[in-house]
Amino acid sequence: MKLKTILPCLLLVFILTFPSPSVTQSRDSSRLYQVAVFPFMIHSQENLDYLREGINDILTSRIAVEDRVVVIDRSIVERALSEERPLRLDETAAAKIGVKVGADYIILGSVTKVHDYVSLDVRLISITEAKPPVTVYTEQKGIDDLMLKIGNFAQSIGHRILGGRALAGRADEPRYPLITHAFTVERIKYGDILRVYLEAEDLEGEMIRIGTLVDQAGYGRYPISWAFLKQPDRKHFKGYLQWNTFSSKASILSEGTPITLTVTVFGKSGRKSDTVAFPITFESGVKRASSYQLPSPFDQKDVKKLGNIDIELMDLTNWRQ
């Protein structure tokens, strides 16, 4: 049976069988959070517009948490999009539109299909609170369980928005490392020096290392790169990881190559922070990464180098030959 014919059935199954997140959320706070879901970008030579519609329907139906989280009507978001007409729907443009429609959080995403390989990149971004984005990135062969992954992500959004408040004050909860701020550029020239800025804390003072992963659509995941923290940085640090993106394995990188770079801080006994993910695209016409203005708190003088990212990219065109 073709995917186009079974997609409505899958959507109905998700709506009927996934338990509502409202039953697990705390009602201690009276604040109502509003979420704006933006149309997903589709990168494919095939017409996959039906995926965009199905993804939007699943997210809209599963995000809402009674009296706590609501999804802004799709028509309002689309009207604001048509009025702003951004040349590129990146995080900056989407955040501007999110403010316009009264959103506390925005959801951006893309589906990329290269030959038989499909990658899904979904981001939950806070625009009213100082929280790092939450990203789900997956790459697979075929699109059979793509909607399952979307459903799982949608199911976790209520917890991501409210969970910290629901758990606050519980003495039996472990104190995991917490990434409080994170930043890097979204577009970079191949061969440029990329800096990934992080600030993190651990009340126990037991942060040990930072792990960086890179996923490349159509290629997969590269081995993890480690940066080990010195003793003064194990309770709190503010600094950057440096990555020379030129690779000895690729003299060039195909224009528009998308990757997702994810960073996690690890403590003792397997304790770790939430993962912070950065979608990055390699484009030849963009300015140097070092010329971007840094946001607070990374625009101050006490930002130091924490280590290097030792990952060498492959050019997908040459790799498949």
Could you give the dihedral angle defined by the CA atoms of residues 300, 304, 310 and 316, in that order, rounded to the nearest 10 degrees? 10
> What span, in angstroms and rounded, lies between the C-alpha atoms of 20 and 203?
33
To which H or E segment does residue 120 belong? strand 117-126
Question: Which of 25-34, 241-250, 272-281 shows the highest mean pLDDT?
Answer: 241-250
Q: Which residue has the higher pLDDT, 64 or 284?
A: 284
> What span, in angstroms and rounded, lies between the C-alpha atoms of 157 and 85?
28
Q: What is the mean pLDDT of the chain?
A: 80
Could you give the dihedral angle defined by the CA atoms of residues 117, 212, 106 and 88, in that order, rounded to the nearest 10 degrees? -60
The angle at the Cα of 311, spanning 213 to 131, to the nearest 5 degrees, equals 35
Listed residue (306, 95, 280, 290) closest to 199, CA to CA: 306
Mean pLDDT score, 193-210? 92
Is a pLDDT exceeding 70 seen at residue 286?
A: yes
pLDDT at 137: 72
Which tokens in the block code for residue 292?
């971007």
Domains of the chain as residue ranges with CATH: 3-167 (3.40.50.10070), 178-319 (2.60.40.10)
The number of C-alpha atoms within 13 Å of 48 and in the hemisphere containing its C-beta is 21
pLDDT at 309: 97
pTM of the model: 0.53
Residues 11-58 have pLDDT tens digits of 444 444 444 333 333 334 578 899 999 988 888 888 888 888 888 888
Measured CA distances, 177 to 133, 285, 307 (Å): 16, 37, 18
Is a pLDDT exceeding 90 seen at residue 217?
A: no
**Torsion angles phi and psi, residue 23, rounded to 5:** -75, -15
Q: 113, 3 in Cβ contact below 8 A?
A: no
Residues 73-100 have pLDDT tens digits of 989 999 999 898 888 888 888 899 999 9
Q: Are strands 69-71 and 33-37 parallel, antiparallel or unpaired?
A: parallel
The number of C-alpha atoms within 13 Å of 225 and in the hemisphere containing its C-beta is 21
Q: 308, 286 in Cβ contact below 8 A?
A: no
Tracing tokens 């993910």 back to the chain, one arrives at 277
To which H or E segment does residue 295 belong? none
Three state DSSP letters for 25-83: CCCCCCCCEEEEECCCEEECCCCCHHHHHHHHHHHHHHHCECCCEEECCHHHHHHHHHH
Q: What separation, in Å, do the N-terminal and C-terminal C-alpha atoms of the chain show?
A: 32
